[in-house]
Amino acid sequence: MNTFFLLRRIIIRWLYQLGKISNIDASITSILCYHSISNDHNRFAVGLETFEGQMEKISEHGTFVSLDEIIASREGAYLPSPSVAITIDDGYHDAISILPITKRLGIPIALFVLSDPERAEKKALGSKSRLLSWEEIKYLRKEGWTIGCHSATHPNFFEATETALRQEIVNAKQKLEEMLGEEVEYFAYPGGRFEDRSIRFVQEAGFKAGFSIREGCAIHGANQWIIPRTIIDKTHMISEFPAVYSPTTFFLRKWTDPLRLWNIFLKFK
Ligand SMILES: [Zn+2]
């Protein structure tokens, strides 16, 4: 634990309390983004026990909701507050291990997978864990998980040509739908990278919504094609929940963005 972690925890918890007093944090819908659920050394892997502790902490103060419920609320449907949606990117095999926890706590999960995992750019993915097979993805779908698209091979969208982008978004949706035998409605940008071109393809492909990893609430004023999500990784302590995905922390992150302070806080060794 370095000084920055400690400082971050103190600051965001203090801000959260302030937000609570001033009622800023009362109305909140957050989407959390996980990757590997394992003890892998990479920063984005969160251990199973830690994940369980985090889910229990969330259930103490908020309601778990699905992406469908969040999207419906944008058109006026009721959404409990505070509410939290859980998403998992990349589709590592270890995601299956959370099933007993999500069943026990009634957590709807949205899993964003690759349509062409055999060609996945392992370096971009960052974890050594193996990816889910199609049978396993179909099994999780049967268990009630929402399956979303996370591109075909997880490339860097900023460097992709128009043709490649189309394949990674439009064709990836079609392939996933063929594999699952149903419509795939949501897209999560690999590495959170998006620009006008990729947003346009997400719209053109017929997705209902796109998900980024920008800080922010999921409904209030959020652009439907880059809905914010908060990445949870090894640097997050359970004691930081729910402060870490609260409006006061989003405000702090936006405000400190030009100084790159948040990145210093997040430096992981
Ligand atoms: Zn990813």
* Cα–Cα distance, 69 to 90 (Å, whole number): 22
Q: How far does the centroid of ligand 1 lie from the alpha carbon of residue 8, in Å?
A: 25
Q: How far does the centroid of ligand 1 lie from the alpha carbon of residue 111, in Å?
A: 11
* Cα–Cα distance, 261 to 244 (Å, whole number): 15
Q: How far does the centroid of ligand 1 lie from the alpha carbon of residue 169, in Å?
A: 14
Q: What is the CATH number of the domain that holds 261?
A: 3.20.20.370
For residue 27, the model assigns a pLDDT of: 63
Q: How far does the centroid of ligand 1 lie from the alpha carbon of residue 150, in Å?
A: 7
Structural domain count of the chain: 1
Q: How far does the centroid of ligand 1 lie from the alpha carbon of residue 241, in Å?
A: 23
Q: What global pTM score does this model have?
A: 0.90
Q: How far does the centroid of ligand 1 lie from the alpha carbon of residue 76, in Å?
A: 30
For residue 235, the model assigns a pLDDT of: 82
Q: How far does the centroid of ligand 1 lie from the alpha carbon of residue 95, in Å?
A: 14
Nearest alpha carbon to residue 8 among 248, 242, 246, 244: 244
Condensed to tens digits (0 to 9), the pLDDT of residues 203-218 reads: 999 999 999 998 888 8
Q: How far does the centroid of ligand 1 lie from the alpha carbon of residue 188, in Å?
A: 8
For residue 249, the model assigns a pLDDT of: 79
Q: How far does the centroid of ligand 1 lie from the alpha carbon of residue 227, in Å?
A: 15
Q: How far does the centroid of ligand 1 lie from the alpha carbon of residue 35, in Å?
A: 7
Q: What residues make up the domain containing 61? A: 3-265
For residue 262, the model assigns a pLDDT of: 64
For residue 246, the model assigns a pLDDT of: 83
Q: How far does the centroid of ligand 1 lie from the alpha carbon of residue 91, in Å?
A: 8
For residue 2, the model assigns a pLDDT of: 67
For residue 269, the model assigns a pLDDT of: 47
* Cα–Cα distance, 173 to 113 (Å, whole number): 10
Write out residues in the chain with pLDDT < 50, as ranges: 268-269
* Cα–Cα distance, 93 to 107 (Å, whole number): 19
Beta-sheet strands, E only, within the chain: 29-34, 63-64, 83-90, 109-113, 146-149, 186-188, 209-211, 230-231
